[in-house]
Structure 1
Amino acid sequence: MEYFKEKEIILWDFDGVILDSMEIRSLGFRKVLSQYPAEQVEELLTFHKQNGGLSRYVKFRYFLEEIRGEENAKEEVQQMSEAYSSIMRKKLKSKDLLIDEVLEFISKNHKKFDMHIVSGSDGDELRYLCSNLEISDYFLSINGSPTPKIELVSLLLSNYSYVNEKVCLIGDSINDYDAAMANNIEFFGYNNSDLKKKETRYIENF
């Protein structure tokens, strides 16, 4: 594919790029926060949709501290995140949710490129899902939160001694774009036309 002719390493976001999961992710927030006022939950869902690449830990903390004005919410954030992960492990392990054209590209090219997942999703949950979806073997590593994505990318570049010019990140959110820019690697937008507004390359299809 001409997009990647000068690349050797592809870093993949997960939700919205490999797995069509955004509606189920939103449902998970609704379930975990069902005891709270509806308008507060809707405010959190707006934040969630605008910041797809951020972890649930950040989002639940935002909900409690910024929307509800609560302090010292660390324990509650952990409890909410665990409840959320339990729902996601059940709801997201269907192969029907895999984005076909992306999976086809990955399966055909995983030996040509070094491929890694860098996601805002919980790392343990992500590895569980990839195993159930039978895609783990396509990737040299599968990385997620609570480590922020900017740091995940930085660690990969360092640990594998990658040359930045040979690396790209494919994502569907502004947070993916920010992670690529912060680490001086090329970004390719996908599955979010708002990213066309950025001075970056955009993949219409694979």
Structure 2
Amino acid sequence: MNNLSFNQIRAVVFDFDGVILDSAGIKSEAFPALFSHRPEFAEQILQHHLENQGISRYTKFEWIYEHLFQESLCEAKSLELGAEFSKLVFDRVVQAPFVPGAPELLQKLQRHDIQSFVASGTPEDELQIIVNRRDIQDFFIGVEGSPKTKASIVQSIQREYGYSSDEMMFVGDAVTDYQAAVETGLFFVAVDTPDMHDFWKQGNVLAVQDLNVMVEALSPVNANSK
């Protein structure tokens, strides 16, 4: 599949932040804020987050403590950081605007009987609350997040619903999304950002400015029909 087409596609897996909601920047601001007591590491903390978007925040906490602070991070402190991080981002994410075209695409996929799933690095319980608060839960067959990896979520969907890799598509905005798609053999569509534009271009990855492009591509002619 060299071009954006929904031929044979029966299921689409979406990342969430930056793909469904325009909320990726909120998380990027929160990491330096969470560690504002260590301003000497602010730039490195932000850079690590940007290079590892889609990975669990708890994994990032471990890296920050081990590689920057050179301290051990106990489970209790990690959970405390996670709770503080949620306080920084939760309300803002709930109120974040949709990525342009996201509601229309979800509606159109549903009309064409193409199932939608979420595979996110956000903690699953928090993610499901956000999805419910935004009243978009009925568009998704499954909403899953960390500590599961995105590749394992895709593989679980394939086992449960019997989809082959050729029948699925992954839509994401980060390297971890792309890696999960490659690992599981799914066609990948990137939602482009200035930070990732060169990466997608160098890798010859199909990148779209927003989801309106996908709405236009999903027509009765090339959509899966049953």
Q: What is the TM-score with the length of structure 1 in the denominator?
A: 0.91
Structure 1 residue 136: deviation in Å? 1.0
RMSD: 1.8
Match of residue 74 from structure 2:
73
Paired residues of 1:61 and 1:73 also in contact (CA < 8 A): no
Paired residues of 1:20 and 1:98 also in contact (CA < 8 A): yes
- d(CA) in 2 for partners of 1:14 and 1:196? 22
Unaligned ranges ≥5, structure 1: none
User: In the superposition, relative to structure 1, how do residues 4 and 74 fare at CA in structure 2: closer, same or farther (>3 Å)?
Assistant: same
Structure 1 residue 9: deviation in Å? 0.7
Per-residue Cα deviation, 1:116-167 (whole angstroms, up to 9, x for no partner) = 0001111111111111111111000101111122222222222222111101
Q: 1:12 aligns with which of 7, 11, 14?
A: 14
Match of residue 90 from structure 1:
91
SS at match of 2:5: helix
Unaligned ranges ≥5, structure 2: 214-226
- For these two proteins, the number of residue pairs brought into alignment is 204
Paired residues of 1:121 and 1:144 also in contact (CA < 8 A): yes
Paired residues of 2:31 and 2:49 also in contact (CA < 8 A): no
Correspondence 1:152 to 2:115: no
Q: 1:201 aligns with which of 191, 197, 206?
A: 206
Match of residue 36 from structure 2:
34
Paired residues of 1:174 and 1:195 also in contact (CA < 8 A): no
Match of residue 164 from structure 2:
163
Correspondence 1:104 to 2:82: no
1:168-183 equivalence runs, <5 A? 168-183=169-184
Match of residue 135 from structure 1:
136
Paired residues of 2:23 and 2:93 also in contact (CA < 8 A): yes
- The percentage of aligned residue pairs carrying the same residue is 26
User: In the superposition, relative to structure 1, how do residues 46 and 58 fare at CA in structure 2: closer, same or farther (>3 Å)?
Assistant: same
Paired residues of 1:9 and 1:166 also in contact (CA < 8 A): yes
Higher relative contact order (CA 8 A, sep 6+): 2
Structure 1 residue 7: deviation in Å? 1.0
* Runs of 4+ more than 3 Å apart: none
Q: Which range is displaced more, 70-79 or 108-117?
A: 70-79
- d(CA) in 1 for partners of 2:66 and 2:50? 18
Per-residue Cα deviation, 1:62-81 (whole angstroms, up to 9, x for no partner) = 11112211224333222111
